[in-house]
Amino acid sequence: MPVDPQVQAVLDHMAASGAQPFYTQPVGYAREAVQALPTLGGEPAPVASAEDRTIPGPQGAIPVRIYTPEGTGPFPVLVFFHGGGWVAGSIDTHDRVCRSLTRSADCVTVAVDYRLAPEYKFPVALEECYAATQWVADHAAAINGDAAHIAIGGDSSGGNFAAAVALMARDRGGPKLVYQLLLYPVTDYYEPGTASYRDYAEGYFITRNDMIWCWNHYLSSAEDSESAYASPLQAEDLSGLPPAMVITAEFDPMRDEGEMYAARLKAAGVPVTHTRYQGMIHAFVNFAGMVDMAKRALADASAGLRAAFGN
Write out pLDDT tens, residues 86-128.
999 999 999 999 999 999 999 999 999 999 999 999 999 999 9
Amino acid in position 113: D
- At 37, the pLDDT band (50, 70, 90 cuts) reads confident
Contact 242, 178 (CB under 8 A): yes
CA distance 24 to 260: 30
CA distance 41 to 203: 21
- Catalytic-labelled residue, pool 106, 217, 282, 302: 282
pLDDT digits (tens, 9 = 90+) for 153-201: 999 999 999 999 999 999 999 999 999 999 999 999 999 999 999 999 9
Domain parsing of the chain, residue ranges: 5-309
Any catalytic annotation for residue 139?
no
CA distance 161 to 216: 17
Contact 132, 125 (CB under 8 A): no
Instruction: Specify the pairing of strand 49-55 against strand 145-155.
Output: unpaired
Any catalytic annotation for residue 224?
no
User: What's the CATH code, domain 5-309?
Assistant: 3.40.50.1820
- Catalytic-labelled residue, pool 210, 252, 256, 302: 252
CA distance 130 to 120: 15
- Catalytic-labelled residue, pool 156, 157, 231, 302: 156
Any catalytic annotation for residue 252?
yes
